[in-house]
Amino acid sequence: MHASATFTPAIAPVTPTIAPVSIPLRELLPWAVFGTVLMLLAIYFVGVEEGAMAIFNTMYVHEFVHDGRHLLGFPCH
Ligand SMILES: [Zn+2]
């Protein structure tokens, strides 16, 4: 092999074409509402489910989310 030999790749580099996908608001809105409802339920159970505001009379839900409650800074005990 000579020192002046040049390297020619057998396969040409492929540059992918990336195009943004548009999501219509009509398709996005139900998922946004569903996510919001789930988020509000999670915030309720982590932050408010205790004492007079409790739906359940037992402390199971409160104890289950107790660490998350302290992690997020909700007042507890
Ligand atoms: Zn606590």
Alpha-carbon torsion, ordered 53, 40, 33, 19, to 10 deg? 180
Which residues lie near ion ligand 1 (Cβ < 5 Å)? 76-77
**pTM confidence score:** 0.59
What confidence tens digit (pLDDT) does each residue in 3-55 have?
566 777 677 778 888 999 998 999 999 999 999 999 999 988 888 887 777 78
Of 44-48, 50-54, 56-60, 73-77, least confident by mean pLDDT is 50-54
CA of 35 to the centre of ligand 1 (A): 27
Q: How far is the CA of 42 from the centre of ligand 1 (A)?
A: 17
Amino acid 3: pLDDT: 58
Q: What does the CA dihedral 28, 34, 35, 39 come to, rounded to 10 degrees?
A: 160
